[in-house]
Structure 1
Amino acid sequence: MYSGNCTNCTTCGSCQQSPNVDTPILFCMHCQPSDAPCLKACRENAIKVLGGAVTIDGDKCTKCRDCVEVCPIKVIKI
């Protein structure tokens, strides 16, 4: 299920995520924050940049899955 871009570094935490989680979890450094499709797709402004990583604010996320659809490496699980 891993993308060809995965190096098994465990930095983004996607390896530890499970599908259909109650609270979306993301700490991804794959995309440059200025180019992150998920950040641009989020209508609720629930996706933020924290220390150079793209993260999801579970309190703001409505689980619409727009970010899941645009993620180029499919690491967002909701």
Structure 2
Amino acid sequence: MFKSGNCTECTTCGSCQQTPNVDTPILFCMHCQPSDAPCLSICKQDAFEVLGGAITLNSEKCNKCLDCEEVCPIGIIKIY
């Protein structure tokens, strides 16, 4: 069982849905259904993609406008 107090923000377990503090945005989120995900609808660059039911961010398309950070209902998106 995942315990948030033990989180090292490694992103390997997939339970915490944290993003590492790196220059390249990384995301693998399963909180919203793709049909309802605000990040997918707001991104003008179409940088968000659905991969196996998870929402991922294609960093090559991302222009770091931060619109997605503002609409994410759980605050998982952190663009550096």
TM-score w.r.t. the length of structure 2 is 0.76
RMSD (CA atoms): 1.8
CA contact (8 A) 2:19 2:78 kept: no
TM-score w.r.t. the length of structure 1 is 0.78
CA contact (8 A) 2:48 2:57 kept: yes
CA contact (8 A) 2:19 2:76 kept: no
For 2:32, the aligned partner's letter is C
CA contact (8 A) 2:19 2:26 kept: no
1:23 shift after superposition: 1.1
Structure 2: stretches of 5+ with no match in the other structure: 5-12
Structure 1: stretches of 5+ with no match in the other structure: 1-6
The 5-angstrom pairing of residues 35-74 of structure 1 reads: 35-74=36-75
Higher-RCO chain (CA-CA 8 Å, sequence separation at least 6)? 1
Large movers: runs of 4+ above 6 Å: none
Partner of 2:32: 31
Q: Is the partner of 2:59 in helix, strand or coil?
A: coil
Greater radius of gyration (CA): 2
Identity among equivalent pairs (%): 59
